[in-house]
Structure 1
Amino acid sequence: MAQLPQYAIIVAGGSGSRMQRDTPKQFLEVAGKPVLMHTIERFYKYNPAIRLIVVLPQEQLNTWRELCRKHTFKLFHMTVPGGATRFGSVKNGLDAVMGEGLVAVHDGVRPFVETETIKAAFEAAEQQGSAVVAVSPKDSIRELTESGSRAVPRAKYKLVQTPQCFRASILRKAYEQPEQEHFTDDASVVESTGEKITLVEGSYRNIKITTPEDLILAEAFASQDLQG
């Protein structure tokens, strides 16, 4: 059986608001280059033949082109303008996927995803149709109730990360639905069509860079990678 082509839709729709900065978080520099470049490099390292689709807000496309020139960033990728929401952005990225294939959707601001994790997600998606990377919570969890809060068993919960991988046909069908409020990630969109979601073990290094504290951690991880 011929191997299905692999795609990665890298969604980078962030602003700098929670960072308290004017620069969108995907363009903030870690170890001398924008976060988004590190993320693209991870997928390229996993599979140089992967088809990379980078989704950015329309008003950031020129800035990204300039950054690629400035950093002599040559890894081939397509850029696609995003939608008003993450749902709309993934849908726009999906329009660039031709025919059947395996599609990973990944946050542009998760630059430390390990190639082993990407590989495991693609392999599970090939066999099961879907694969979502997740880790166990480290902290105790409480559920908010009408009367206050109550402890819940941590072992019953998972923290969801990306990549989230699917067969292209499954993802397309899911994104033909109208957008709903509870669609917080691709797994929730796909699950609402009746598809089963397979979980793949993630890593605590696969952080999403959202706040100033995350940047400190990102610099530490990056210098560790350079030494390794």
Structure 2
Amino acid sequence: MTDYVIIVAGGKGLRMGSDIPKQFLPVGGKPVLMRTLERFREYSPTLQIILVLPKAQQDYWRQLCQQYQFPLPVEEGVRGGSYLLADGGETRFHSVQNGLALIPDDAEGVVGVHDGVRPFPSIEVIRNCYETAREKKAVIPVIPVVETVRQLEGATSFTVPRDDYRLVQTPQCFDIQLLKAANRQPYNDGFTDDASVVEAYGFDITLVEGNRENIKITTPYDLKIAEALIA
């Protein structure tokens, strides 16, 4: 039995106002994506990592790996590679499909799907997601909503009980065969994350506690928070 993680990194940096895709921006002197991969390698040296990158960004990633003396992906003629590389797709759904294609069809175990620009999931949260998924099959980390929430309805709005809502993080962990089957469904716009894909397939999702530091770095403000977390 082998566990996997598919790390999806397809950002373009538009909200960053940068020409450099957000996953390649440095945080604490190292590209965000490298910190993300290191966190999962820290969780488990034997975890099979699959990195999904747009094909147009892969040469730049290899250049960064050489610049920062970071392991290159496993490729023909490359020594010391410790993870696989898959091409990004049109949407996140299709990118995850491409990552899943590198997992054998008869594989048993748990596969996580994680945002490449979330470098701070705690090891405890990662472990809890994987271990809970061995029994529950579909697990996502969440955190409570701490601010007042209002729902829009036409030109009006009203307060809703925030205790009824949770903010969703990654890694989202699933039985490998379940996620493979769910990803054979036709794509629809309601697939906003992997849990929504599995849910549409008819399987219930189990929630576990996430960690608030596990932010998704998408704006310049997020970068400042990330620098503070590292400091």
2:88 alignment counterpart: 82
Match of 1:182 among 173, 181, 190: 190
Residue 39, structure 1, aligned to residue 36, structure 2: yes
2:211 alignment counterpart: 203
Alignment partners' CA distance in 2, 1:47 and 1:67? 23
SS in 2 for 1:41: helix
Residue 22, structure 1, aligned to residue 30, structure 2: no
1:212 alignment counterpart: 220
SS in 2 for 1:69: helix
RMSD: 0.8
1:25-70: per-residue Cα shift (whole Å, max 9, x none)?
A: 0000001110000000110000000000000011000000110111
2:101 alignment counterpart: 95
2:145 alignment counterpart: 137
1:221 alignment counterpart: 229
1:2-33: per-residue Cα shift (whole Å, max 9, x none)?
A: xx311010000000100000000000000111
Alignment partners' CA distance in 2, 1:88 and 1:215? 27
1:103-148: per-residue Cα shift (whole Å, max 9, x none)?
A: 0000000001111000000011001101101101111101111241
2:75 alignment counterpart: none
Alignment partners' CA distance in 2, 1:85 and 1:18? 18
More off after superposition, 96-105 vs 47-56: 96-105
Specify every segment of 5 or more residues in structure 2 that has no aligned partner in the other structure, as ranges: 72-80
Runs (4 or more) in structure 1 with deviation over 2 Å come to none
Specify every segment of 5 or more residues in structure 1 that has no aligned partner in the other structure, as ranges: 224-228
CA contact (8 A) 2:52 2:95 kept: yes
Aligned-pair identity (%): 50
TM-score of the pair, normalised by structure 1: 0.95
Task: Give the CA deviation at 1:100.
Answer: 2.0
Alignment partners' CA distance in 2, 1:66 and 1:159? 35
Residue 166, structure 1, aligned to residue 166, structure 2: no
Match of 1:111 among 119, 122, 125: 119
TM-score of the pair, normalised by structure 2: 0.94
Task: Give the CA deviation at 1:91.
Answer: 0.4
1:226 alignment counterpart: none
Match of 1:5 among 2, 5, 9: 2
Task: Give the CA deviation at 1:214.
Answer: 0.2
CA contact (8 A) 2:109 2:134 kept: no
SS in 1 for 2:23: helix
